[in-house]
Amino acid sequence: MITGKHLIAGQWVDGDTTFSSQPAHGPASDYAQGTKAHVDAAAKAAEAAFWSYGYSTAESRAKFLNAIADEIEARGEALTAMGTAETGLPEARLNGERGRTTGQLRLFASHILDGAYLDRRHDKALPDRAPLPRPDIKMVERPVGPVGVFGASNFPLAFSTAGGDTASALAAGCPVVVKGHPAHPGTAEIVAQAIDAAIKSCGVHAGVFSLVQSNSREAGEALVTHPLIQAVGFTGSLGAGRALFNLCAARPTPIPFYGELGSINPMFLLPQALKARGAEIAKGWAGSLTMGAGQFCTNPGVVIALKGDDAKSFSEAASAALANINPQTMLTDGIASAYRSGRDAVAATAGVEELLAATCEGRNAAPYFYRVAGKDWLDNRVLAEEVFGPLGIIVEVDDKAQMKAIALDLHGQLTCTLQMDDADLDLAKELMPILERKAGRILANGFPTGVEVCDAMVHGGPYPASTNFGATSVGTLAIRRFIRPVAYQNMPDALLPLELR
């Protein structure tokens, strides 16, 4: 049963005011509006929990993470029903995302039991070293303290209440305060109920997790500026993320803000691959571009190719594939409106030619496809800004030098893709040093939608793809955002962390 309340330190807490959900279908519901006071109570509870949870064993935290996964799975039907109603995403997508969410939790449970993330080091004392002796020094990674997490609009499960940020923070030993996303508050509450049940079954301090619901700026700003919050995880728009990043930096004691903000995820279509299998690539690209109404942060919105007959054939095949895509429901009315605004900005840019037109009304989105010359792309920075939705642009370049110039001109990206054949290897070698500096993940002959949750994955990149280019929000490396190294010099064993004894 949905209460419409916040979960703070094991208690379901009401508020003085409410906001209404805006579901894709079905009736709206009212939810308590989060305030600065709610965030303060949640942060203080998280700090109280840290003194036990932050010093708990990996075994106990792994048990807790697995219990959360079990409780989420037990609520699978309810989560799918609520998630589809709130977001308009299909049942298959929600079911798959639930599996990804529980898989992340179990992956981090296994990861911390392995212990490699602790990066334990020991330099033994050298008392006879000249001219000065060396002390005994041990080092281990320790949790940073309470973490604030923002739910994401486009992933109501895998990047929200119990998503990758929460899973990695809890694995590290950090209590979490989640600011729920207003696009799916009911889904957030059901997941919070699952976490609450796991807290009770495992005997964990109730302050280890809190959910504050809100559709206003007050709760989010209070979370990132609260003096007890030590780090923040965020997935969302560039504008909102940059505003929160600035607040984190302006605090009396600044804290890291791990924001995943935006990317156009360019695909470089190299000449021999274009000639040999351009139509095949076009169909695959169209499917990736429109997956989930284009509402993936790894949506490949831009193709760069040498102009000529092969590029023209690619565009024709892509246009035909995109024309067969029916309009899809977007996550919120605001996202749908922003998509239309982005479309208008692209269409109004000098040198842009429309290849595929469509009609978008209300909360629906249909694909658009545009062509622009390389020079016009380089002269109009607006074209390099993310349009969140199924909008694609092909940039036709004069030569390989202009293709490299566009690569050099890119902002930071989550992904860059090379579509290439063996005969394209020399050009690919020229592009690789550039793309390594631009993106967190580089693909060959694939499409970036679909981010594998594993040890080697990097989901991040130079700004504005993320605010911290040394971090990832997907994969086991994500835990490093919420730990810090501490060295212990000549420390008696009895005073060392359990992990160093």
Which sequence positions are flagged as catalytic?
260, 297
**CA–CA dist 273, 281 (Å, integer):** 9
Rg (the chain; Cα; Å): 24
Q: Are 352 and 346 in contact (CB under 8 A)?
A: yes
Q: How far apart are alpha carbons 400 and 404 in whole angstroms? A: 6
Instruction: Report the distance separating Cα 499 and Cα 501, nearest Å.
Output: 6
Task: Name the β-bridge partners of 486.
Answer: 140
Which residues have C-beta within 8 Å of that of residue 32, sequence separation ≥ 6?
4, 5, 6, 13, 14, 15, 17, 18, 213
Contact yes or no for 35/27 (Cβ under 8 A): no
CA atoms within 13 A on the CB side of 430: 14
The helix (H) or strand (E) run that includes residue 306 is strand 302-306
Length of the chain: 501
Cβ proximity of 413 and 461 under 8 Å = yes
Pick left, alpha or beta for residue 481 (phi over 0 → left; psi -120 to 50 → alpha; otherwise beta).
Answer: alpha
Q: How far apart are CA 369 and CA 355, in angstroms?
A: 5
Residue closest to 174 by CA, chosen among 66, 293, 47, 287: 47
Backbone angles phi, psi at 147, to 5 degrees: -120, 140
